Homo-oligomer: A and B are copies of this chain.
Amino acid sequence: MSKDPKVQPRYTGIPTFMRTPYAPTLEDIDIALIGVPFDGGVTNRAGARHGPREVRNQSSLMRTINQATGVAPFDLVRVGDAGDAVPDTPFELLAAHKSIEEFYEGIKAAGVMPISAGGDHSVTLPILRALAKDGPVAMVHFDAHCDTGDFYLGSKFHHGSPFKVAAEEGLIDPKKTIQIGIRGGVTDRDIWKFSYESGMRVIHIEEFYEMGLNAVIDEIKQVVGDSPVYVTFDVDGLDPVYAPGTGTPEIGGFTTFEAQQMIRSLADLNIIGGDVVEVAPPFDPSGVTALTGATMMFELLCVSAVSLKRQRGDSTSCENGG
């Protein structure tokens, strides 16, 4: 009973994220893994409210060392599962966002870096409201949609608009924002014009494949520079075969291999947090979406751990945690 859960059979034990210790008090941790079980902002298929539960479940398949990069995040920093940012009032979008924001204010106040599992993409807005209180941050945004839309079905706030609001509220700097994987039909020719007019770098999937992976990675680094940066990964940026369980799938996306290479390139940035959103288990009969989400969260944890350690000026012998 005293063994490290991370080395026991994967199907055993209570599924915290990546089998890290449950740490709701935030004491003794540097990075908090957090669930945000809210999908009141979806415009089509709900289900992302169950995302944190299933990502935790599948995250038992994660291990402790990133074989490709050598990073051992749990050796670099202290990581815990801080539980869920439960929206107290799930029937009211604005109030729900408010309670999520308050949860993350606690995270920020504790000096802990959050890596979150959504929930729909609307939850990134209250997270940013808590994290970017002191000024706009840069953002790396993987997605099929720019999510800089306007009023829809009577609401300014939904999972298609968080980054327009975030920019307007001064939480992100559009000129230091890059959006990758954009595609699919639109109902309004100007739906993403806010992205363009505000100066965001938008890489449609066609341009993505014309540029090639390495050029995209260079572009990310150039756009962000050394600004503090938030990384948000919507699983619908991936092709639906890698993430069928999501609310608004769009065929023709990038692969998990490409996503892994892009995330791994972020270790040099000054990451302040990140999230993986829109995993919707009811539409995921084989569980592959949650497994993908959990692995993306692990990749994000690896680069965030390296970045955090460097930001703190900690340059002990082995950066990889070995």
Contact = CB atoms under 8 A, between A and B. Distances in A.
Interface of A: 1, 3, 6-16, 22, 24, 35, 37, 39-41, 43-47, 49-50, 52-53, 56-57, 61-68, 70, 72, 81, 83-84, 86, 88-93, 95, 103, 106, 153-155, 157-158, 182-189, 204-206, 209, 239-242, 244-245, 248-249, 251-253, 255-257, 260-261, 282-288, 291-292, 295, 298, 322
B64 A187 contact: yes
A54 to B, nearest CB: 9
A95 B22 contact: no
Nearest to A62: B185
A72 B191 CA distance: 14
Contacts of A189: 65, 70, 72, 322
When A and B form their complex, which 5 residue pairs have the shortest distance between CB atoms, in order from nearest? A63-B185, A89-B154, A282-B282, A46-B46, A252-B257
Contact of A298 (B103, B182, B185, B257): B185
A286 B287 contact: no
A287 B291 contact: no
Of listed A1, A209, A242, A287, residue having the most chain B CB within 10 A: A1
